Amino acid sequence: MQSSDAPTRADLDRPDPSRIERLCVERGLKMTGQRRLIARVLSEAEDHPDVEELYRRAVTLDARISVATVYRTVRLLEEKGIVERRDFGGGRARYDPTDRGHHHHLIDVDTGRVLEFEDPEHEKLAQAIARRLGFTLVGQRLELFGRKAPANPPPRPPRAAKPRS
């Protein structure tokens, strides 16, 4: 039930479904022009955009979308397990496609830049800790906040992007 005969404007711009769009269809989501748009923006993103940023990028491609829809879609995608909501501090939720694989983040406290990393050793350790406490690990969150290596000891950290409100 995917191929209709009258392609929408978005289809014309990008006839081949984006990576995320394919996932949406797999999960049985009704694909509207707006959803296709967001799926495409998410597929092309290499960072961790917040809703405002997603909206900004989407509007550029097709103005017929509102922030409310971005909020609703992003929530839907989260429920379907297609994206994960992240909180790097800053008050806004940020989104991370799950098909990029399991990873953690290191946030540069001076620039706010976010690096992704994996660490099998940590995964083992996390499981071990949970087990030690009598639990089975069902999820976790590891975020490192760092400053570029040559850390000339500052009296107090200049600008921090650490956990905030």
The contact set with a copy of itself (CB under 8 A) reads 85-87, 93, 106, 108-109, 115, 117, 119, 121-122, 125-126, 129-131, 133-149, 151, 157, 160, 162-165
Identify which of residues 8 and 127 has a Cβ nearer to DNA in the complex. Answer: 8
Q: Do 164 and 91 contact (CB within 8 A), yes or no?
A: yes
Amino acid at 120: P
CA distances from 113 to 2, 81, 106, 146, 149 (A): 39, 25, 8, 10, 15
Supply the minimum distance, in Å, between the C-beta of residue 63 and DNA. Answer: 8
User: Going by DSSP bridges, is the β-strand pair 94-97/114-117 parallel, antiparallel, or unpaired?
Assistant: unpaired
- The yes or no reply on residue 35 touching DNA (CB under 7 A) is yes
Binding mask 83-102 for DNA (x = CB under 7 A): --------xxx---------
Identify which of residues 14 and 75 has a Cβ nearer to DNA in the complex. Answer: 75
The dihedral of CA 79, 81, 86, 92: what is its sign? negative
